[in-house]
Structure 1
């Protein structure tokens, strides 16, 4: 049995865009090109409307197909796998230690961290909302079983307010989660995750940390250092770490950054 980590681009969105492109093209032909049942200014207007709709749908479909292929675990690029393994690289657990993956989705990062740290245990949490219907608690458990990973567990949780006491974990990690949480201060979300990290514990958090979303991250790093964090580092993952600048721009992943270190 192979694990199924799904794709970060939902199939439903891909199918909807393909259907929208086909429909807008068909309507363009019917009303704009052949003028079936319409004529004059109305034909021109409909031709323009459906022509614009076709161009927009076609461009988004092209992007979606490219992104789907790039993120696929079974494709040639395997960008998702590279990001997951690269993020997990910075997670270190002591003997008997426990780590937390916030927003675990299909369990990929939780499992990668557990495999790298057989001496410890990983816990993955997620709210598994309807907007990500392909991800679920059951899927995470199946993927762990498929990978033969037993030092792991999954449960429901909310990144905005973690249901754990201060300094509960020896490591915390997350990948492309916080930018999806609307209406919340992103630096506050980082602090909430780091709140449950023990003194001396490691952290590895990857997200779209552009200034527009996150504010001044250099100032945030300095704040953590002033709070007594042993090591804090920001790593731009769009300059060859995980992807090239051109690829990051095309996939709309500019701002992808790793926040790593030790408390």
Structure 2
């Protein structure tokens, strides 16, 4: 049995982009044959062909993204990100870690494998937008990896069902930027609320100004709150991806927020 961590780029989305493009091109061909020559036909052709090209381009882009993040492909960016983020987590014997937005279980399982004497809890809402991800998938992947020190449950990143200072570490990978919010820094604070004094955190996401606001000010805020260390490590300068690669993937601003409380 082999673990199946899926791909965060859904195959259905790729097929939908190409399907819409094909439909628009067919409609353009039909309009060219059936609509009388004139301004209306010209406008229809422009709109339909332009729309078809846009969706075809989106299809190509999403297919390239899928290949880059494929665990079994050549690039295997997802594997590099997971293993790289997990390497920042060192748990004490008998310690615990909360992985938020665990998806298919990849990051939580990687942390559990690196810290066999600790316990990891992975939570996720497993919504319709990622229908192929589920609690059963996570559990199957843990079994396939031979990892028994991890469990999975439903949870909400906005309102974590855990008391303050419950965990020795908290982790997350590419989750919070997907949550509709005008204040994602508040989501980070809700996560860090569950971290014990002296505990560590490693959160990988797209920390752009448009999504998170001023992260330098946020880091200073953490230090003012008494955090021993807080830093943002750019992962787009060759760590997980090159700057140009991050640009075409729309992942500019990717970084690991890490430190110690």
Instruction: List structure 1 runs of 4+ shifted beyond 3 angstroms.
Output: none
Q: Aligned pair count? A: 260
Q: Which residue of 2 aligns with 1:201?
A: 199
Q: Which residue of 1 aligns with 2:36?
A: 39
Deviates more, 1:44-53 or 1:162-171: 44-53
| Residue 19 (structure 2) pairs with residue 19 (structure 1) | yes
Q: Which residue of 2 aligns with 1:192?
A: 190
Equivalent residue for 2:58, pick from 36, 57, 60? 60
How much does 1:28 deviate?
Answer: 2.2
Distance 2:10 2:260 in 1: 34
Distance 1:145-1:184 versus aligned 2 partners, 3 A rule: farther
Distance 1:260 1:179 in 2: 17
Q: Which residue of 1 aligns with 2:162?
A: 164
1:151-200 C-alpha deviation (Å, 9 max, x unpaired): 10000110001000000001000011111110251111111101000111
Distance 1:204 1:159 in 2: 15
| RMSD over equivalenced CA pairs, Å | 1.0
How much does 1:114 deviate?
Answer: 0.4
SS at match of 2:255: strand
Distance 2:118 2:224 in 1: 30
Equivalent residue for 1:79, pick from 77, 80, 85? 77
Deviates more, 1:241-250 or 1:221-230: 221-230
| Residue 39 (structure 2) pairs with residue 29 (structure 1) | no
Unaligned runs of 5+ in 2: none
Unaligned runs of 5+ in 1: none
SS at match of 1:63: helix
Q: Which residue of 2 aligns with 1:250?
A: 248
How much does 1:31 deviate?
Answer: 2.2
Q: Which residue of 1 aligns with 2:219?
A: 221
- Counterpart mapping for 1:46-195 below 5 A: 46-195=44-193
SS at match of 2:258: strand
- TM-score normalised by L of structure 1: 0.96
How much does 1:119 deviate?
Answer: 1.4
1:45-88 C-alpha deviation (Å, 9 max, x unpaired): 22112111111111111101100100111110011111111111
- TM-score normalised by L of structure 2: 0.97
